[in-house]
A and B are shown apart, each in its own frame.
Chain A
Amino acid sequence: MREPDFERNLAKVLKKEKPENPTLFEFLLSEKAEEVLSGYRLKSDSEEERIKRRIYACLNAGYDFVPVLPSGLLFEQSSHQSGKETYSLNEGGLITDRESYEKYKWPDMEAVSYRYLEVAKKYLPDGMKVLSYFPNGILENVIGICGYENLCFMLADDRELATEIFRQVGSRLEKYLKNTLDFDCVGMTFCNDDRGFKQSTMISHNDLREFVYPYYRETARATHEKGKYIGMHSCGNFDGIFEELYGVIGFDGKHSYEDVIMPVEEAYEKYKGKIAVLGGIDVDFICRHSEKEIADRCRHMLEISENYGGYALGTGNSVTRYMPLEKYFALLKVVNPDLKIN
């Protein structure tokens, strides 16, 4: 089994250096992937059991970290949205104007419990660290609360209201991530916020700068002050503002790459030394190519990043429910040839 060692592997990648050993990065695993990789059956649906299973899965897969999320900390969104894999981003919207804004109940951050980090610590093997993240990013949560089209209209009609909503969400996310930094087991923070698509970003570059980035910048500053690292996940095309991700906000690593936008090989050539490139083997590619083709592409990625460092291998987005597990395992085996699946 590959021994986890956050400091010598992933931390080095995030410093844009060469890791001690080839390193893996993944942000979200499907339930099935977690179940199979961990070989562990949940005894109950408790927070503790779920964390335990995720740690076993990450350990077996060969990761140096485990992503841990608080349970019960969510912004209230339209009722038809909660608990579903997907929903219409256009429907509903709990806040559409001043009046609904005044009525909205924002989660009380003082009531958030960080107990789950203690729980994680209990089961965390030596060398492994926690990646702390929030349930969805700033833009994602604001879209969830307002509805995408409503938000777009608000950005044109009532920017003051938009500013307040972004502040309510952004300041909470920032506070939460900062608080997790006080725990030794946390090695890195992570801002997962899908802000783009094939062509561009979901709101304008200027609006991202005005409404979203200040909170991420402050989180990055606080993270670095504690000597820890910060990564981000976002799909989409960042042409024109990619440089700001590291240059202005201060992210150490970026996750999510799509071949139709910019293949990871190209992204690595362009951004190596500036920001760590995390994952990147396109989801569509993995789903539609053979295990050998996947392994070849992974090996090639490790080869081209061998001298310069700053790269960790993983999928372009996540291990989705519909991704055949053997194909994901083919990727893992490139770094962790002894991978055992029970």
Chain B
Amino acid sequence: MSITEEISEKLQKGKAKDVSALVEQAMQEGIPASVILNEGLISGMNAVGEKFKRNEVFVPEVLVAARAMNAGLKILRPAMQSEGIKPLGKAVICTVKGDMHDIGKNLVKMMIEGQGIECIDLGVDVDPQRIVDAVIENDAKVVCLSALLTTTMMGQKDVIEALKAAGIRDKVKVMVGGAPVTQQFADEIGADCYTLDAASAAEAAKAFFTE
């Protein structure tokens, strides 16, 4: 097994210390940061995402894997900077106005970050205007809106309206999700993307950055 494969394996098992040590070792062996990142860390996180999609692992395992990924990234970051590796781009993420559910939102954020996308997390109970401001300020290409209540899922539409009013609707892709949200609802409110789970959300987000 190559060292990047080993990083991926340990990451999937959530072994943060092992991942850190292996990343360190790989760097010493002169493996480029981009290879360690893509073939080690991101490939490991993708594998976890796939298993999560198929219900083969549960949320806690995903969180523990994400923790291991972050431990590896911490060591790798200086090398990434000197190699000039930049995030694919920025996404703004939050739970909409009136809604405090944040476990799903956090998971989506972790998985999206796991694809090398920078996430601006505005937290929960977020006003449409703040989202618009954050998109402009950060030049974000994707907006991820989480809503878990019937009342607040309507708030996802308000955000789309606010983006239109600010004249930036066509500059961003709007992704929606959360317990009561369905593809049909996403179509009704004119969102660009709905996914059932966080791993698919990350894939879809990546596609928006690379298309």
Contact surface of A with B, Cβ cutoff 8 Å? 85-90, 148-149, 151-153, 155-156, 197-205, 207, 239-240, 258, 260, 283-284, 287-288, 322
| CB neighbours of B63 from chain A (8 A) | 149, 152-153
Q: Which of B93-129 contact A (CB under 8 A)?
A: 100-104, 106, 124
User: Knowing A156-B14, A284-B180, A288-B150 touch, does A90 contact B103 (C-beta < 8 A)?
Assistant: yes
Which of B14, B104, B179 has the most C-beta atoms of chain A within 10 angstroms of its own C-beta? B179
Give A86 to B100 CA distance when docked, in angstroms.
Answer: 6
A147 to chain B, nearest CB (A): 11
| CB neighbours of B14 from chain A (8 A) | 156
A199: contacting residue among B64, B150, B197, CB under 8 A:
B197
Q: Are B102 and A152 interface neighbours, CB within 8 A? A: no
| CB neighbours of B55 from chain A (8 A) | 199-200, 239-240
What are 28 residue pairs bridging A and B, where the CB atoms are less than 8 Å apart in the complex? A86-B101, A88-B100, A90-B102, A152-B60, A153-B67, A156-B14, A156-B60, A156-B61, A156-B64, A197-B103, A197-B104, A198-B179, A199-B197, A200-B55, A200-B58, A202-B58, A203-B59, A204-B61, A207-B58, A207-B60, A239-B55, A258-B179, A258-B180, A284-B180, A287-B151, A288-B150, A322-B149, A322-B151
B25, CB-defined interface residue at 8 Å: no
B31, CB-defined interface residue at 8 Å: no
Q: Which 7 A-B pairs have the closest CB atoms?
A: A152-B60, A86-B100, A204-B58, A287-B150, A284-B150, A284-B180, A152-B63
Q: Are A152 and B150 interface neighbours, CB within 8 A? A: no
| CB neighbours of A240 from chain B (8 A) | 55
Q: For B179, give the chain A residue with the smallest CB separation.
A: A198
| CB neighbours of A284 from chain B (8 A) | 150, 180
Give A284 to B106 CA distance when docked, in angstroms.
Answer: 23
Q: Are A197 and B58 interface neighbours, CB within 8 A? A: no
Give A322 to B149 CA distance when docked, in angstroms.
Answer: 10
B18 to chain A, nearest CB (A): 13
B98 to chain A, nearest CB (A): 9
A197 to chain B, nearest CB (A): 7
B34, CB-defined interface residue at 8 Å: no
| CB neighbours of A203 from chain B (8 A) | 58-60
B64: contacting residue among A88, A89, A152, CB under 8 A:
A152
| CB neighbours of A156 from chain B (8 A) | 14, 60-61, 64
| CB neighbours of B61 from chain A (8 A) | 156, 204
B189, CB-defined interface residue at 8 Å: no
Q: Are A88 and B196 interface neighbours, CB within 8 A? A: no
Q: For B106, give the chain A residue with the smallest CB separation.
A: A90
| CB neighbours of A322 from chain B (8 A) | 149-151
B182, CB-defined interface residue at 8 Å: yes
| CB neighbours of A288 from chain B (8 A) | 150
| CB neighbours of B104 from chain A (8 A) | 197
| CB neighbours of A287 from chain B (8 A) | 150-151
B103: contacting residue among A89, A204, A239, A260, CB under 8 A:
A89
B182: contacting residue among A86, A202, A260, CB under 8 A:
A260
A149 to chain B, nearest CB (A): 6
Q: Are A153 and B64 interface neighbours, CB within 8 A? A: yes
| CB neighbours of B58 from chain A (8 A) | 200-205, 207
Contact with A along B52-85 (1 / 0, CB 8 A): 0001011111011001000000000000000000
A156 to chain B, nearest CB (A): 5
Q: For B180, give the chain A residue with the smallest CB separation.
A: A284
B102: contacting residue among A88, A197, A207, A283, CB under 8 A:
A88
Contact with A along B136-167 (1 / 0, CB 8 A): 00000000000001110000000000000000
B179: contacting residue among A149, A152, A197, CB under 8 A:
A197
User: Knowing A198-B196, A199-B197 touch, does A148 contact B103 (C-beta < 8 A)?
Assistant: yes
A120 to chain B, nearest CB (A): 32
Give A206 to B100 CA distance when docked, in angstroms.
Answer: 28
| CB neighbours of A202 from chain B (8 A) | 58-59
A302 to chain B, nearest CB (A): 24
Give A201 to B52 CA distance when docked, in angstroms.
Answer: 12
| CB neighbours of A197 from chain B (8 A) | 103-104, 179
Give A282 to B17 CA distance when docked, in angstroms.
Answer: 45
| CB neighbours of A260 from chain B (8 A) | 179-180, 182
Give A207 to B57 CA distance when docked, in angstroms.
Answer: 12
| CB neighbours of A200 from chain B (8 A) | 55, 58-59
| CB neighbours of A198 from chain B (8 A) | 179, 196
| CB neighbours of B67 from chain A (8 A) | 153
| CB neighbours of B149 from chain A (8 A) | 322
Give A154 to B39 CA distance when docked, in angstroms.
Answer: 28
| CB neighbours of A90 from chain B (8 A) | 102-103, 106
